A and B are shown apart, each in its own frame.
Chain A
């Protein structure tokens, strides 16, 4: 049985179980395919919202926007996350994968669901956006396809938990699981809550669409749908933070500054990240302010605190490792000497900064109960989440992929020169998308809207300020840069799989995984490596930007109409 064969990677020393390896490959390839499809749709959407270009007609725009959201947010990310779960369990714990047959069944369901969904959406009867707010109705197969996909993903989560059990009972590791695995456990737990919520709402909606259930309450739909829609973003956060820790270890041999702090931060995620689903309901009728304030604040911002802790400890652990290895001079030598030409590092670091500064700050600010009045459903919202889920999650996963391809597929990365620039192109383009969408949003431009010029309303119009049109044009240009970056990624990865130099059992010339920094190295120079002054400076800059932006928005709020 393939299940018990292991291969030891000559470059990383990691032990790969045969079944795990095939599943990792399958999930990663599927992920990239859906990124390619969804990214192309993103281009069409961005060029349509650029009012001077206005590429697609209204009907196509709404259809393509629906497909964009689903392909990138759901299919690309979740396929990749399943791969991460298998990697963090079977590979990092050095054990066989539990029930590979089930894992393949889950994978098959996910593929069927994703393909079916694309076909249904492209037939045009289901342009309901990924949120598919009842009582707006899609084709029944639309809901069914999502249910199939979700069931497949849930199976993946249980295979992950099963693998943890296998590792423990077969004693393939000692003590506690690695931090990266712990982060993956966090992601998987959130995923279970996410998918169960999705089932609670999508099953009745499916039955309603085929006429077996009379009515879906629109408000209850929103509440439960967001337990699914929002929590799935929190899977992403937990997953990409784990990957940040993994990359810090891979490139620098870094260990967390403190296991206790990093794990407790993940524990705060497990407890409180998901309740912030309420920030989608801040301007809804029917739910009380107490419910809104408590849940949108992640229970007194404890989960935000956790993210800010990770935001410190990830670069902090890199700084400590770099200092321990001799880059001790000044505040930032450790950062300057980092491998900026290696896409694994540049992608990860751009992602860290973009996620924090662009995505994190704006998310918390617009998640304040009252401030949400200013931005709900404007382009500010997609602006925010392109910083979190694209600059954050997507770019992190891209960075990891550059490292995974040679390890898993034993092929060298092709087009190394392009690969060097890819994270910068994609990261900067996407940061532009994020900023300009947010800019348009603060000027009131609605999201998911085909024509803010109101050309077809028979003369009833609204004049958005000229700056709004400029923002949309700048967004369109950033979209082009980002899409070039995204396409470069797909070309490099697919090209490497097909044409990359075969590595076989040969070790590569480059060192592919850093030797872990030792206790002695950390302890040298009186343990000064742990002082991380550079990271503290960066963190303070972050904190000050955060606080300023937070209070500026309360000031904006104070200027609008009275409402109570």
Chain B
């Protein structure tokens, strides 16, 4: 009788469990409870919990909101394609468009301030990958994702696309500056 044949004991459910197995099962069960506890616990004490506030929206709507935002707070333009650099007031709303194949506009944020980020795609799915802070968020067309973001260090950050989005995927890079 091995694992390749029917159990030797007809009523195998009533066979006792060996001690070694029981110890291990108890240990991993408790470990599972610890891991189950960690996630809600982090929602209470941790500072990194991605918000899930979301609205159904359209590309036109989101583009219009972003354009209004850019209109209001642009401080300069830069880069090969003269992208606006937008410096919203501390604590304010921030809009970031992802589309084939750029992130628009460039943002300039203040260290230690919390911004209300609005993120959406105008076409396909993209991946918001903030480097080197290493924050990665899925960007889905048709949905406006709203969450709070608080930069903790000054410097130049890149927004890389890490969801494959067609042949220009590896060209899709944006910038966020964090200043004092």
A and B touch in the complex (CB under 8 A): yes
Measured CB to CB, the residues of A under 8 A from B are: 58-59, 62, 92, 127, 129, 133, 135-136, 173-180, 217-219, 222, 245-246, 248-250, 253-261, 281-289, 292-293, 297, 300-302, 304-305, 308-309, 312-313, 316-317, 364, 368-370, 372-378, 442-444, 446-452, 454, 456-462, 464-465, 514, 516-517, 519, 530-533, 535-536, 539, 543, 546-547, 550, 554, 557-558, 560-564
B-side interface residues, number (CB < 8 Å): 88
Tell me the complex Cα distance, A287–B145, Å. Answer: 11
Report whether A454 and B6 are in contact in the complex, using a CB–CB cutoff of 8 Å.
no
Residues of A within 8 A of B32 (CB): 297, 300-302, 304-305
Residues of B within 8 A of A378 (CB): 129, 134, 136, 162
Q: List 8 A-B contacts (CB under 8 A).
A: A178-B4, A179-B7, A285-B119, A285-B144, A309-B21, A376-B137, A457-B171, A465-B132
Measured CB to CB, the residues of B under 8 A from A are: 1-10, 12-13, 15, 17-21, 23-25, 27-29, 31-33, 35-36, 38-40, 42-43, 46-52, 54, 79-81, 114, 119, 123-125, 127, 129-138, 140-145, 147-152, 158, 160-167, 169-171, 173-175
Closest to A285 in B: B145
Report whether B36 and A300 are in contact in the complex, using a CB–CB cutoff of 8 Å.
yes
Report whether A530 and B52 are in contact in the complex, using a CB–CB cutoff of 8 Å.
no
Report whether A560 and B3 are in contact in the complex, using a CB–CB cutoff of 8 Å.
no
Closest to A133 in B: B125
Report whether A255 and B129 are in contact in the complex, using a CB–CB cutoff of 8 Å.
no
Report whether A246 and B24 are in contact in the complex, using a CB–CB cutoff of 8 Å.
no
Residues of B within 8 A of A514 (CB): 2
> If A261-B25, A563-B148 touch, does A377 touch B20 (CB 8 Å cutoff)?
no
Tell me the complex Cα distance, A253–B7, Å. Answer: 13
Residues of A within 8 A of B127 (CB): 376-377, 446
Within 8 Å by CB of B13, from A245, A260, A444, A536, lies: A260
Q: Is the interface of B mostly helix, strand, loop or mixed?
A: mixed
Residues of B within 8 A of A519 (CB): 8
Residues of A within 8 A of B50 (CB): 282-283, 370, 373, 563-564
Report whether B5 and A178 are in contact in the complex, using a CB–CB cutoff of 8 Å.
yes
Report whether B149 and A562 are in contact in the complex, using a CB–CB cutoff of 8 Å.
yes
Within 8 Å by CB of A285, from B54, B133, B162, lies: B54
Tell me the complex Cα distance, A535–B123, Å. Answer: 53
Report whether B114 and A562 are in contact in the complex, using a CB–CB cutoff of 8 Å.
yes
Within 8 Å by CB of B7, from A222, A259, A300, A448, lies: A259
Report whether A561 and B135 are in contact in the complex, using a CB–CB cutoff of 8 Å.
yes
Closest to B158 in A: A462
Tell me the complex Cα distance, A301–B17, Å. Answer: 21
Within 8 Å by CB of B140, from A222, A293, A368, lies: A222
Among A58, A533, A560, chain B packs the most CB atoms within 10 A around the CB of A560
Closest to B45 in A: A558
Within 8 Å by CB of B39, from A259, A293, A308, A547, lies: A293
> If A249-B3, A563-B50 touch, does A446 touch B162 (CB 8 Å cutoff)?
yes
Closest to A539 in B: B24
Tell me the complex Cα distance, A321–B152, Å. Answer: 57
